[in-house]
Amino acid sequence: MIRILLTAATQLEVFTILRRWKTLRSKTKSGITLYKAEISGTDVDLLLTRVGLTASGRIFRQCLVNETFDLIVNAGAAGSLSPDLLPGMIMLPDSFISENTAVISAPEDYREKLTKACRNCGIEPRAGRLYSSQMAISNTKVRLKVAEKYQAQAVDMEAAAQADAAQTKGIPFVCLKVITDLAQFPVLPRYFANLPTVNRKLREVLENYIDNLCY
């Protein structure tokens, strides 16, 4: 049996998962709260990392001090840096970057299975690079500069720090993001408006992914 760590920034983005999977709350030896479930014979631990590159990275690294995982999946919302990446679409990043990290590639074999899970759910995912920012980027011109400088198609505030820590530990790390907003619209209203879509699509794809992970 493999053990998966699922990470998300906030409970709002995985509320449906927490409710449907009937998770049990527990504490690690390092004092980190995990929500545990067994899905299709697979042990899944959900870690809420909080929003922000520094905070989420710190909590994530602390979780890995005394816990061992076979795979880490970061799931949640992201903002678009590309005119072709629209709200409601799913992005499976093939690489991660931030101001403080070099480009980190996602393992292709795990991404392929995640792509298959999306297609099993009737979703055609997009690939590309995910940039992790220290703060929310709501200005169109700033997003365009970030997209050009880092050759990125989407932005979040967590994944790169986690990808870096997972790579240090030698644990495969993949990411599943639902796009919630475009730069030309106010970020927070669009984010909250699209949360039901985020919850539904994350649950559907993750359940299919875990069901077929070992086959």
Residue type, 91: M
CB count within 10 Å of CB 61 equals 17
Write the pLDDT tens digit of every residue in 126-138.
999 999 999 888 7
Q: Could you give the 3-state DSSP secondary structure of residue 201?
A: helix
Q: How many CB atoms lie within 10 A of CB 192?
A: 12
Considering the domain delimited by 3-212, tell me its CATH architecture. Answer: 3-Layer(aba) Sandwich (3.40)
SS3 of residue 123 by DSSP: coil
pLDDT in tens, 30-71: 889 999 999 989 999 999 999 999 999 999 999 999 899 999
Model's pTM, two decimal places?
Answer: 0.95
Phi-psi region of 154 (alpha: psi -120 to 50; beta: other; left: phi over 0): beta
Q: How confident is the model at residue 8 (pLDDT cuts 50, 70, 90)?
A: very high
Name, in order, each residue with C-beta under 8 angstroms of 123's C-beta and a sequence gap of 6 or more: 90, 201, 205
Quickly count: other Cβ atoms within 10 Å of residue 213's Cβ. 19
CA distances from 2 to 39, 109, 155 (A): 11, 16, 30
Which of 196, 204, 212 shows the shortest CA–CA distance to 77? 196
Residue 184 has a pLDDT of 64
Question: In sequence order, which residues have a C-beta less than 8 Å from that of residue 149 and are 6 or more positions away?
Answer: none
Confidence of residue 94 (pLDDT cuts 50, 70, 90): very high
